[in-house]
């Protein structure tokens, strides 16, 4: 990529990382971003482009680590808060408040809560220090010809003193274009005129609204900051992630019907709904403030996007939300996006023919992207209701004990493989399905036939494992 002109569309975390990877391979990088430099504006307006607080986990960290940029990862990690598990806020049958913690991982691995803007700023500052990277903020992509390798951008700078009242359009030639311009990607839109792309977008029946939970009067966190707090309410939920400034960023997720009811109801109805389903929240967010935030902050939809392929020829590839926007319930959206960049460049490094590398990348990554998108959808049900079910807890308990005390089995929960490993998502799901089959057999045997059954179950478990070890592991002698 030495000396090649690489155009990156979008200066979010994923686009910034892509620019960093390209620049470290000697490319001449230009980043075009629709919005203003977020470091120049005091507050990001709370709109479609503002995302909830993010969970940074192994895949994202590994992708940043793999840039090899000294000190970069440390700077980012310093801006994160460790969350070791979920804290469920419930009411007991007597009506008393009940808090239950669930560790994410039996090996004490953790998620990191991070502000999207903070993470983005560190990456942008780092890019600023590189001689072969140039930014073009407030530039809107208006067209692209991916055969001729040209794109057009309109400078939308509203403070411009240019005499013309029409925005200026510039033509940009490139060797390679990386579209990291989000769920409503222009790059994808123009790419679809060239690639025969299968594409689907689905709005799930869920809206979200952000709230801020202030610190206590003493300036401390209102709740323990080492958890992702969840108020599961069956068909909807409220969650809270800690921020460096001792606030929590909270989000209400619920079906359109619930939002419509709350929007059309009285303030008292909103407060009583919170008190009924999200016990304790109005202790930390005063009721009047809660109502004001619900009215002021937008109620936004969630979209699930799948497409294939992710590239066209040797000229363009889309990554991150542009290629696979997912619902936020596995905390994997940004992690998957950052990982895409790492996988993309490892293919480009390995295969000199770029068209071939992109085709390989696309085939592998679309498979993984579809898997994590589906898992994220399924996790909404887990977070808002399954987390409280005895069967769910039992399975988690057994799987974690197997992981911890019989490490040679290579057993692990799906959650830990997704969040704390770099295993391909498609491989994670294969292993989980296999584990689930085995565990279901055992659980059925245990619960169904008592002692006899459990002996049989253990035997079955054991023989299956031996089988798995013999055929699945390199050191098994076969």
Residues of this chain that interact with a copy of itself (CB under 8 A) are: 184, 189, 193, 196-203, 301
Shortest distance (Å) from residue 196 CB to a copy of itself: 4
Give min distance, CB of 198 to a copy of itself, in A.
5
CB of 268 to a copy of itself, least distance (A): 30
| Cβ 142 vs Cβ 169: under 8 Å | yes
- CA-based angle 196:202:206, to the nearest 5? 160
Alpha-carbon distance 258 to 153, whole Å? Answer: 41
Shortest reach from residue 350's CB to a copy of itself, in Å? 26
Residue nearer to a copy of itself on the CB measure, 25 or 140: 140
Query: Which residue lies nearer to a copy of itself by CB, 306 or 347?
Result: 306
Q: Which is nearer to a copy of itself, 65 or 184 (CB)?
A: 184
Instruction: State in angstroms the smallest separation of the CB of 321 from a copy of itself.
Output: 16
Q: Is-contact 6 29, C-beta < 8 A?
A: yes
Q: State the nearest-atom distance from the C-beta of 158 to a copy of itself, in Å.
A: 18
Nearest approach, Cβ of residue 262 and a copy of itself (Å):
18
Nearer to a copy of itself, 309 or 320 (CB): 309
Min dist. Cβ of residue 142 to a copy of itself (A): 9
Nearer CB in complex with a copy of itself: 254/279: 254
Integer Cα distance of 302 and 315 in angstroms: 30
- Measured CA to CA, the distance from residue 63 to residue 69 in angstroms comes to 11
Q: How far is the CB of 50 from a copy of itself (least distance, A)?
A: 18
Q: What region, left, alpha or beta, does residue 471 occupy, with left being phi > 0 and alpha being psi -120 to 50 degrees?
A: alpha
Tokens matching residue 401: 């004990």
Identify the sign of the CA torsion 52, 53, 56, 60.
positive
Residue spans of alpha helices (H) in 25-68: 58-65
Taking Cα atoms as reference points, which of 21, 18, 19, 15 lies closest to residue 29?
Answer: 19
Any idea which residue has 């009940």 for tokens? 98
Q: Output the smallest distance, CB 203 to a copy of itself, in A.
A: 4
Tell me how far, at minimum, the Cβ of 154 lies from a copy of itself, in Å: 12
Residue closer to a copy of itself, measured from CB, 196 or 217: 196
Closer Cβ to a copy of itself, 140 or 469, answer by number: 140
Cis peptide before 309 (omega within 30 of 0): yes
Cβ nearer to a copy of itself, comparing 198 with 269: 198
Residue pointed to by tokens 């937008």: 298
| Residue closer to a copy of itself, measured from CB, 308 or 379 | 308
Ramachandran region of residue 467, left (φ > 0), alpha (ψ -120 to 50) or beta? alpha
Around Cβ 444, how many Cβ atoms within 10 Å?
12
| Cα 317 off chain centre by | 20
Chain mean position to CA 87: 20
Contacts of 55 (CB under 8 A, 6+ apart): 83, 111, 112, 113, 114, 228, 241, 331, 335, 419
Separation between Cα atoms, residue 332 and residue 420, nearest integer Å: 11
Nearest to a copy of itself of 125, 263 (CB atom) = 263
DSSP assignment of 190-254 equals HHTTTS--EEEEEEEEEEEEEEEEPPPTTSS-SS-TTEEEEEE-SS-EEEEEE-TTS-EEEEEEE
How is residue 335 written in tokens? 């992690």
Give the Cα-Cα-Cα angle 348, 416, 444 (nearest 5 degrees).
130
Nearer to a copy of itself, 207 or 281 (CB): 207
DSSP 8-state class, residue 302: E
């Amino acid at each position: 990529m030495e000396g090649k002109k690489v155009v990156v569309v979008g200066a979010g975390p994923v686009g910034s990382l892509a620019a960093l990877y390209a620049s470290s391979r000697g490319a001449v990088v230009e980043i075009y971003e629709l919005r203003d430099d977020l470091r120049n504006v005091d507050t990001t307006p709370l709109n479609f482009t503002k995302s909830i607080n993010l969970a940074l986990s192994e895949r994202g960290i590994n992708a940043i680590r793999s840039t090899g940029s000294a000190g970069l990862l440390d700077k980012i990690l310093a801006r994160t808060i460790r969350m070791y598990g979920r804290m469920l806020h419930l009411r007991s049958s007597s009506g008393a408040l009940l808090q239950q913690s669930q560790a994410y991982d039996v090996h004490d691995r953790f998620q990191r809560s991070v502000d999207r803007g903070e993470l983005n700023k560190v990456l942008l500052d780092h890019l600023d220090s590189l001689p072969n990277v140039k930014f073009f903020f407030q530039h809107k992509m208006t067209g692209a010809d991916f055969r001729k390798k040209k794109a057009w951008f309109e400078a939308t700078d509203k403070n411009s003193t240019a005499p013309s009242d029409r925005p200026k359009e510039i033509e940009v030639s490139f060797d390679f274009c990386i579209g990291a311009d989000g769920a409503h990607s222009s790059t994808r839109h123009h790419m679809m005129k060239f690639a025969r792309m299968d594409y689907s977008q689905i709005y799930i029946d869920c809206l979200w609204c952000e709230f801020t939970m202030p610190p206590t009067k003493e300036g401390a966190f209102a709740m323990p900051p080492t958890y992702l707090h969840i108020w599961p309410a069956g068909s909807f939920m409220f969650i809270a992630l800690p921020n460096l400034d001792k606030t929590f960023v909270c989000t209400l997720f619920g079906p359109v019907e619930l939002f419509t009811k709350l929007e059309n109801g009285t303030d008292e109805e909103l407060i009583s709904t919170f008190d009924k389903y999200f016990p304790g929240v109005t202790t930390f967010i005063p009721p009047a403030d809660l109502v004001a935030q619900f009215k002021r902050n937008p109620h936004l939809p969630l979209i699930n996007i799948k497409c294939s392929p992710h590239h066209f020829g040797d000229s363009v590839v889309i990554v991150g939300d542009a290629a696979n926007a997912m619902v936020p319930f596995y905390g994997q959206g940004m992690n998957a996006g950052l990982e895409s960049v790492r996988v993309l460049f490892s293919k480009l490094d390995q295969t000199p023919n770029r068209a071939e590398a992109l085709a390989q990348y696309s085939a592998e990554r679309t498979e993984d992207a579809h898997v994590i998108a589906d898992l994220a959808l399924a996790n909404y049900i887990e977070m808002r209701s399954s987390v409280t079910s005895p069967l769910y807890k039992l399975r988690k308990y057994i799987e974690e004990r197997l992981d911890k005390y019989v490490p040679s089995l290579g057993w692990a929960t799906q959650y830990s493989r997704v969040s704390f490993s770099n295993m391909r998502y498609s491989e994670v799901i294969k292993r989980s399905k296999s584990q689930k089959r085995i565990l279901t057999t055992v659980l059925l045997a245990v619960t169904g036939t008592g002692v006899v059954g459990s002996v049989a179950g253990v035997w079955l478990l054991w023989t299956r494992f031996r089988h798995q070890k013999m055929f699945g592991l390199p050191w098994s002698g076969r």
